[in-house]
Amino acid sequence: MNRIIAASMAAFITVTSALAADFGDPAKAQPIAGQICAACHGADGNSPLPMNPSLAGQHAEYLFKQLNEFKSGSRNNAVMMGMVAGLSAEDMRNLAAYYSAQKPGESAAKDKDLVAQGRKLFRGGNLATGVAACAGCHSPNGAGIPSQYPRLAGQHPEYVAAQLKAFRAGERTNDANNMMRAVAARLTDTEIAAVAEYLSGLR
C-alpha cells in the first residue's frame, strides 16, 4: 500500500511539474520567490509559519487566481496586497508555476480524536446540519482539482482554520458562487478544528 501511495505521489508531482512548466517559467520566478515570498512561505513553498500557507504543490491556476485577487483587492489582505503590488501578470504566472512545481513537505496530524472527527466530516459531511462533504470538491486525498479547487492536503491546520472562520464571518469573499461561505456558515469551531487537523495529515 505504501508503495502504491508513493508511486501515486511521484506521478502527481511529475504531472504537476509538467503543468507548471506550461503555465509559466519557474526559473524566472526564483529571484522573486527568494526576495519577496520566502520569509513567509519558505524558499521552496513549504511555509515554516503555521498561520501562513504552504504553497508547494498547489495548483498553478489557483495560485495565479489568488495573486490576482490580492492585487485587485477582491481578496482582502493588507500584507499580501503590498507584496503583489509591484508584480506584473507575467511575474504572477511565473510564481504560480514555480510554487506548483515544488514538492510538498512531510506533515502529520497530532490530535487523533480531532482527526477521526475531521475524517468523517471531510468524507461524508454532516447531514444533520447540511454540510456537504469536503471531498466532493477537494478530492478524497485533499489534492483538489486544478483550475477549480485548491489542494488542501498537508496544509497547516492553523491556516485552514483561520480561512474557514474568515469565510464563515464573511471576511473572505473571493469564493465562487458563495460556496465556501455557505459551507463554513454551518461549521462549528470544533468541526473547523477537526477538518483542519485531518487535512494536515493527508498526503
| The predicted structure's pLDDT at residue 155 | 97
pTM of structure: 0.87
C-alpha span between 177 and 172 (Å, rounded)? 13
Residue 126 φ then ψ, to 5°: -135, 100
pLDDT band at 191 (very low <50, low <70, confident <90, very high): very high
C-alpha cell at position 136: 466532493
pLDDT for 147 = 82
| Nearest to 74, CA basis, from 185, 169, 175 | 175
Rounded Cα gap, residues 85 and 71, in angstroms: 6
